[in-house]
Amino acid sequence: MTTTISAKTYSNYINNEWVETASGKTFASINPANKKIHGYTQSSTNEELNQAVEAAYNAKKGWRKIGQSARGQLLFKTANILEENLNDIAESMTKEMGKTLPEAKGETARGIAILRYYAGEGMRKDGDVIPSSDKDALMFTKRTPLGVVGVITPWNFPVAIPIWKIAPALVYGNTIVFKPASEASVTASKVVECFAQAGFPAGVFNFVTGSGSVVGQGLIDHPKLNAITFTGSESVGQSVAKSASARGIKFQLEMGGKNPVIVTKNANIDQAVEGVISGAFRSSGQKCTATSRVIVEEKVFDEFKQKLIKESSKITIGDGLEEGIWLGPCASEGQFNTFKKYIKKGNQEGANLVHGGEVLTGDKYDKGYFVTPAIFDEVTTEMDIAQDEIFGPVIALIKARDLEDAIELANNTKYGLSASIFTSDINSILEFIDEIEVGLVRINAESAGVELQAPFGGMKASSSGSREQGEAAKDFYTAIKTVFIKGS
């Protein structure tokens, strides 16, 4: 039995205090399954943002000085508190953005694991000894924090993405100002409560909710910010890069993808179908690593298509809190309208809608943003449905002559985040690894899948080039000092 979460109002968290905006304005978070209000958060102004940045700026020296081990221990405490609240936070996620409850629980558990991974960084090395040409000298490198880091996160992973940015930023000695997507700010507030209970020093962790145009842009442009990490749309990411570059501060961008899966003539077709459905349709396709294009060698194209349609027709759709539901609603009215727009566009472009693409109606669905996953075939790479990031449950099936043609088709996009191939041929695997233009390569597995201990990021328009997660996070959140010591 699930518990009812009241539509309460959540505040900003600044300098270890819960603070309401001076404007007195709030905004509602809407449950996409029934359009009911899930909760309210602050529609903050630049006044609250400035307070948060000032608090982080004033706290950065003291936070750096307490040492990496002590910082790691606070992350361990946060992980334990988050674990105690796993069910409540997961339920909030389902009610706020439509992810099924099992997926939401899995994401929250992943957030706990990320916290514990980076807590362990508190006892790992932060530099290297380097031989000096002077035999009487000692030379080594030392990592030093950047200072105040701005964290801007999307709505589709409201627990995992903020934590995989915040945890390394904190353990490596930075203070932060966290701005979540408005559509997932209630769930973000619940995560912030866990950090607040862990007992971080005043000003180290700050949280401000509000519009991207006010709080987000104000954070990006703030003169006391030393770095910004952002996950979201390409257009906003370009704005982040422009502002950060102009001021000479460090920036990190993850901006989505148009992720291909290649199915070769010697693939295990059943395995490929299972991987494509999971990669394309879980979370209603609202993942930056979701499968969007499926490029199939012509020899097995018809067999693959028929099995894909058959298995897709078995997907159960409904409120993500219901047991046995495979797919929840689109996360918001905006995503719902985007889905409908691209179904219409695909038909206008001449693609053939062979499955789904419907808006569900009836008592169970009328109050929410429910759709059936869509499959198009007869798709060419010039079509918008083969080039644009739809961020919804839509597959574009593309026929290829052979592996070389398939890889060329896969690379025909401005994005380069993730890609997968299904094949039993080792030569095909090796060629795919070398030739595909993405940051995450997966073999005989769905395109959507990121492990917390491994570097994550894309190529081309998907990324600014830096990597998140694992040990790679240290490269972004710290600067290297080279130290040379010689006795008098």
Which residue in 54, 103, 193, 254 is the catalytic one? 254
Q: Can 322 be counted among the known catalytic residues?
A: no
Is 1 within a domain? Answer: no
The overall average pLDDT reported for the chain is 96
Provide the CATH number for the domain around residue 85: 3.40.605.10
Q: What is the pLDDT of residue 447?
A: 96
Instruction: Summarize pLDDT for 52-99 with one digit per residue, the tens.
Output: 999 999 999 999 999 999 999 999 999 999 999 999 999 999 999 999
Answer yes or no: do 129 and 41 share one domain. Answer: yes
Answer yes or no: do 271 and 330 share one domain. Answer: yes
Name the pairing type of β-strands 374-377 and 352-355.
Answer: antiparallel
Q: How far apart are CA 121 and CA 337, in angstroms?
A: 43
Instruction: Summarize pLDDT for 362-408 with one digit per residue, the tens.
Output: 988 999 999 999 999 999 999 999 999 999 999 999 999 999 999 99
Q: How far apart are CA 104 and CA 321, in angstroms?
A: 10
Residue 324's contacts (CB-CB under 8 Å, 6 or more residues apart) are: 316
Q: How does residue 6 score in pLDDT terms, banded at 50, 70 and 90? A: low
Is 4 within a domain? Answer: no
Is 456 within a domain? Answer: no
Cβ contact 204:59 at 8 Å: yes
Of 171, 227, 165, 178, which Cα lies nearest the Cα of 206?
178
Q: What is the pLDDT of residue 261?
A: 98
Cβ contact 291:420 at 8 Å: yes
pLDDT at 25 over 70: yes
If one counts every other C-beta atom within 10 angstroms of the C-beta of residue 65, the result is 9
Answer yes or no: do 301 and 249 share one domain. Answer: no
Answer yes or no: do 239 and 287 share one domain. Answer: no
In angstroms and rounded to an integer, the radius of gyration of the C-alpha atoms of the chain is 23
Q: How far apart are CA 40 and CA 450, in angstroms?
A: 31
DSSP code, position 215: I
Answer yes or no: do 107 and 199 share one domain. Answer: yes
Instruction: Summarize pLDDT for 283-316 with one digit per residue, the tens.
Output: 999 999 999 999 999 999 999 999 999 999 999 9
Instruction: Summarize pLDDT for 145-192 with one digit per residue, the tens.
Output: 999 999 999 999 999 999 999 999 999 999 999 999 999 999 999 999
pLDDT at 5 over 50: no
Q: What is the pLDDT of residue 3?
A: 39
Residue 205's contacts (CB-CB under 8 Å, 6 or more residues apart) are: 13, 166, 170, 175, 176, 178, 192, 195, 196
Mean pLDDT for the stretch of residues 198-225: 96
Is 47 within a domain? Answer: yes
Q: How far apart are CA 285 and CA 389, in angstroms?
A: 10
Letter for the amino acid at 431?
E
Q: Global pTM?
A: 0.95
Is 349 within a domain? Answer: yes
DSSP code, position 327: B
Answer yes or no: do 113 and 186 share one domain. Answer: yes
Residue 48 structural domain = 9-255+463-486
Q: How far apart are CA 366 and CA 356, in angstroms?
A: 17
Answer yes or no: do 88 and 110 share one domain. Answer: yes
Is 3 within a domain? Answer: no
| C-alpha triplet 355, 97, 48: angle, nearest 5° | 145
- Estimate to the nearest angstrom the gap between the alpha carbon of 33 and the chain centroid: 22
Q: How far apart are CA 173 and CA 148, in angstroms?
A: 10
Is 441 within a domain? Answer: yes
Across-strand partners of 141? Answer: 482
Mean pLDDT for the stretch of residues 245-260: 95
Answer yes or no: do 211 and 351 share one domain. Answer: no
Q: For residue 213, give the H/E element and its range.
A: none
Is 21 within a domain? Answer: yes
Answer yes or no: do 179 and 132 share one domain. Answer: yes
pLDDT at 10 over 70: yes
pLDDT at 193 over 80: yes
- Please tell me whether residue 374 adopts helix, strand or coil conformation: strand
Q: How far apart are CA 429 and CA 216, in angstroms?
A: 42
Provide the CATH number for the domain around residue 316: 3.40.309.10
Name the pairing type of β-strands 9-10 and 37-42.
Answer: parallel
Name the pairing type of β-strands 37-42 and 148-152.
Answer: unpaired
Q: How does residue 2 score in pLDDT terms, banded at 50, 70 and 90? A: very low
189-223 core/surface letters (b: 16 or more CB in 10 A; e: else)? bbbbbbbbebebeebbbbbbbbebebbbbbbbbbe
Answer yes or no: do 322 and 197 share one domain. Answer: no
Q: What is the pLDDT of residue 161?
A: 98
How many domains are contained in the chain? 2
pLDDT at 4 over 80: no
Answer yes or no: do 395 and 474 share one domain. Answer: no
Answer yes or no: do 168 and 61 share one domain. Answer: yes
pLDDT at 232 over 80: yes
pLDDT at 1 over 50: no
